[in-house]
Structure 1
Amino acid sequence: MGRSRPGPIRWLWYAVGGRLPDEYREWVLYDLTAPTWVLRHLCRAMVQHSVWLLLLLLPIPLTLRIWMVVTGVSVGLFFSLAFIEDASERRLIRQGFPVGLNRKIREESSGAQRSELAAMYAAYYTTEPDV
């Protein structure tokens, strides 16, 4: 499969919710349907919640700063995991894929078939309709 992976800057943009160029559509589909899609989601969520580390700069006692960071990250991760399906769906829709594709791919295939099925869907949905 010829999917190209985005560089670090583009991946950070993608991690905080940005849309990648069309050349990365197949990689985005793989990213959201791979067997490790939950771990990948957690990595993106940790990037998003790293903003809580700015609380360490406040001029208050260190223990309070640490507890504020721990609370912010844990609540953020809880909600991130609670809405993991919706977040994945929105990412695919933003890239131009049809609604429900990620769930369909994950439910229809085993681990060995997953990348082949993702490539098939990506090839089908990247072609322009005849008008």
Structure 2
Amino acid sequence: MRDRSGTPGFFQRIGYICGRALPAEYSDWVLNDLTGPGATRRYLVRMLVPIVLVLLLFLLVPGPIWVGASMMALLLLPLIYFTVALTYVFRRNRLVKHGLDPALADADVRRREEVERTAYEQRHGRA
């Protein structure tokens, strides 16, 4: 079930989301998924949506709705905090798992720093 466009098929994508490594032929797709535009948003959606769906079961607890909602919040708030805090670590781990250079995880930061450095050097006559 190989897609000619260089993107993984449905079942390969589900496996990828669950943590499985894709074959080397999808390296470009993986690199774009982990470091391209919207990578952080995709990561957060993939991590938080399934958990929120499970946490919604707390709303079925008998009693006032605020009891279930507060139990959800007690689990969801730290989860969001640690998910955001570990984004960089997660990216590096996924890059290593797919045989890519983990330094690519911060390529966008280095690109922004280079633009700022070039602008600074032009502004102050060093270029």
- TM-score of the superposed pair, with normalisation by structure 2: 0.65
Are residues 1:78 and 2:60 paired?
Answer: no
Do structure 1's residue 102 and structure 2's residue 86 form an aligned pair?
A: no
Q: Does 1:36 align with 2:38?
A: yes
* Structure 1 unaligned residues grouped into runs of 5+: 111-131
- Structure showing greater Rg: 2
CA distance in 2, matches of 1:60, 1:24: 50
Q: Is the 8 A contact 1:4 1:23 kept in 2?
A: no
8 A contact 1:49–1:76 mirrored in 2? no
Specify the alignment match of 2:28 in structure 1. Answer: 26
Q: 1:86 to 1:66 in 2, by over 3 A?
A: same
Q: Judging changes above 3 Å, is the alpha-carbon distance between structure 1 residues 11 and 73 closer, same or farther for their aligned structure 2 residues?
A: farther
Residue 15 (str. 1) matches residue 21 (str. 2): no
The alignment's TM-score, normalised by the length of structure 1, stands at: 0.64
- The share of aligned pairs that are identical, in percent, is 29
Structure 1 residues 16, 53: CA separation in 2 closer, same or farther (over 3 Å shift)? Answer: farther
Number of aligned residue pairs: give it.
Answer: 107
C-alpha separation between the residues in 2 aligned to 1:38 and 1:30?
A: 12
Determine the C-alpha separation between the residues in 2 that align with 1:53 and 1:13: 24
Aligned residue number for residue 66 of structure 2: 63
Q: 2 CA distance for matches of 1:47 and 1:12?
A: 14
Q: Deviations over 1:35-62 (max 9, x none)?
A: 2122112111213523323433445543
The runs of 5 or more residues in structure 2 that have no matched partner are 113-127
Bigger relative contact order, structure 1 or 2 (CA pairs below 8 A, ≥6 apart)? 1
Q: For residues 77 and 6 of structure 1, what CA distance do their matches in structure 2 show?
A: 29
RMSD between aligned alpha carbons?
Answer: 2.6
